[in-house]
Structure 1
Amino acid sequence: MNTGSYYEPVDAHRYKPTAHAGGAWSADEQHFSPLGGLIVHAIDRHLADRPGNDLLLSRISFDILGRPALDECEIRVETVRPGRTIELVEAVVLIGGRPVVRGRAWLLAALDTTAVEGGAGDRLTPPDALTPWEMGSVWPGGYIASVDVRPLAPPQPGRTTAWISTDLDLVAGQTVSPLASYVTLVDTANGIAVRQPPTAWMYPNVDLTIHLHRQPRGRWTGLDTTVTFGPTGQGITSTVLHDLDGPVGTAQQMLTVRPL
């Protein structure tokens, strides 16, 4: 097994996770963060089979249907709504023949709108000026151990802004798009701003939705994150997404909050 990646390709549609994809809630399941990136990679490969594709992935929503075991997964991708300027693509992840994640991506035409762009907000302090935080002091798992986390200030309960990066490849031996690499780190948001210790409470996310107004660039994913718990077992992790040039979009995660 190549220990420099999150996944090893098995064939054109199947991938085997390495120990680096190990989850935070359980050692024998996948952390969703690299799995989300892998789904985007599978969508990229599906779209690459067509000539003249110039649509940009602008929203992707993931519904986590079941526990993603740390085992070989198959990703099936189909175009649900084809179009020249707007298109909808769906990906389903199967493990042991059972669907565990369903992702839907809206793609929009790439046009020059620089004359009217605006409203995105300010850049974050760059990661080179920040001190790494040992996230493994809060969370276990192979994925958490694989990432470089640099908060702008000491993490607070329910509120943290941090940069995330990794030196690992998403898929061994395969070229991965900047967007797939970026999305690989987005689901980390639910772990950087812990409202309650994960040794006392569970709050895994059942979904992840990413909206983009600009395609991200570079190896750093910036997460400006707020976690809210409600009074009846629900929670929300809300994040403004950044790259080194500024905000690129938002991410939302619905949490199921339960005492251990």
Structure 2
Amino acid sequence: MIDPHYRRLPDGGDFHVFESTMGTASNWDPTIQHGSPPLALMTKAIEELGTGGGLRVGRLTLDILGAIPVAPVKVRAWVDRPGKRISLVMAEMLAVRPDGAERAVGRVSAWLLAPSDTADAATDRYPALVEGEEVPNSHAWLGAPGYLETVSWRKQATADGDAAVVWMSPLGHLVDEDPLTDLQRLAMVVDSANGVGAAIDPDEFVFMNTDTTVHLHRSPRGNDFALRSRGSIGPDGIGVTTAEIFDRHGFIGTSAQTLLVQRR
């Protein structure tokens, strides 16, 4: 039985309060959270705020404002730019600092757009991906406790020099036993693109992302998602990971992440 990433606690004022479980723990440091659970939790807050509005998310951006502890967190969402066709919705996560003061540790901004019928003009840049047999030793953090134990990670065989491809599926719930939307399921895995497309050895370097931006030209469907990902490392300690995102029905969007790269 996989524990949910978060357990709901009594609300505090304008914020919903959650206990973070060890299923949120990062492969880099088990005392801080992997980026995917906070992205998914704030995405949930945004979706719940916008229920009934008729708009759908076209872009999500997570900015990690500091180390997010595996500890109680507070989340709120609000409409920053209202509109019938285009709306900007924000969510924020707070945590307690060692000195007892609260601080913002993460924010998600989402552009919500009004759907219309463009089926006759729909086009994908890439053909659908078909999952094949998983290769052994699917990632460089085998045995790391925490978040990586809450997802199914199936690396695919690719030719030397090609982008890495991994099929991923969340294995548990996000909050308690709340039902999941397909967008929340995608958010629960998409921040892993940095690990999928790792261009350098994590035994020699730390390369943590400061953000994750996801553009979706089609709504995700299902519980299985493929990330075709590649990292680029600059000469001065800054990198970028970009990925194409697929579900079982085809190409659905892209992601990009900024990396801080440091030698161990």
Question: Under a length normalisation based on structure 1, what TM-score does the superposition of the two structures give?
Answer: 0.92
Q: Summarize the Cα distance change of 1:70–1:114 in structure 2 as closer, same or farther, 3 Å threshold.
A: same
User: Quick one: which amino acid aligns to residue 121 of structure 2?
Assistant: V
Counterparts in 2 of 1:1-260, with a 5 A limit?
A: 3-11=2-10, 13-48=16-51, 52-96=52-96, 97-126=102-131, 129-131=132-134, 133-135=136-138, 137-138=140-141, 140-153=144-157, 159-260=163-264
Q: Summarize the Cα distance change of 1:220–1:132 in structure 2 as closer, same or farther, 3 Å threshold.
A: farther
User: Quick one: which amino acid aligns to residue 6 of structure 1?
Assistant: H
How big is the shift at 1:157? 8.1
Q: What secondary structure does 1:43 align onto?
A: helix
How big is the shift at 1:34? 1.6
Q: State the match for 2:99 in structure 1.
A: none
- Is 1:135–1:144's contact at 8 Å kept on the other side of the alignment? no
Q: Summarize the Cα distance change of 1:42–1:133 in structure 2 as closer, same or farther, 3 Å threshold.
A: farther
Per-residue CA shift, 1:37-81, capped at 9, x if unaligned? 111111111112xxx411001001111110001011111111000
User: Quick one: which amino acid aligns to residue 218 of structure 1?
Assistant: G
Percent identical pairs in the alignment equals 30
Per-residue CA shift, 1:6-26, capped at 9, x if unaligned? 111113511111111111110
Per-residue CA shift, 1:56-114, capped at 9, x if unaligned? 01001111110001011111111000011100001111011210111110000011110
1:30, 1:22 → 2: CA distance?
4
Q: Summarize the Cα distance change of 1:155–1:200 in structure 2 as closer, same or farther, 3 Å threshold.
A: farther
1:228, 1:155 → 2: CA distance?
18
- Is 2:138–2:155's contact at 8 Å kept on the other side of the alignment? no
2:256, 2:198 → 1: CA distance?
15
User: Quick one: which amino acid aligns to residue 109 of structure 2?
Assistant: R
Q: Summarize the Cα distance change of 1:100–1:247 in structure 2 as closer, same or farther, 3 Å threshold.
A: same
Q: Summarize the Cα distance change of 1:37–1:156 in structure 2 as closer, same or farther, 3 Å threshold.
A: farther
1:231, 1:246 → 2: CA distance?
35
2:107, 2:8 → 1: CA distance?
20
Q: Summarize the Cα distance change of 1:178–1:242 in structure 2 as closer, same or farther, 3 Å threshold.
A: same
Q: What secondary structure does 2:148 align onto?
A: helix
- Is 1:235–1:254's contact at 8 Å kept on the other side of the alignment? yes
2:205, 2:18 → 1: CA distance?
32
1:25, 1:157 → 2: CA distance?
26
1:119, 1:105 → 2: CA distance?
22
1:92, 1:46 → 2: CA distance?
13
Q: What secondary structure does 1:172 align onto?
A: coil
Question: Under a length normalisation based on structure 2, what TM-score does the superposition of the two structures give?
Answer: 0.90
How big is the shift at 1:192? 1.8
- Is 2:94–2:103's contact at 8 Å kept on the other side of the alignment? yes
Give aligned pairs, total.
254
How big is the shift at 1:173? 2.3
Unaligned runs of 5+ in 1: none
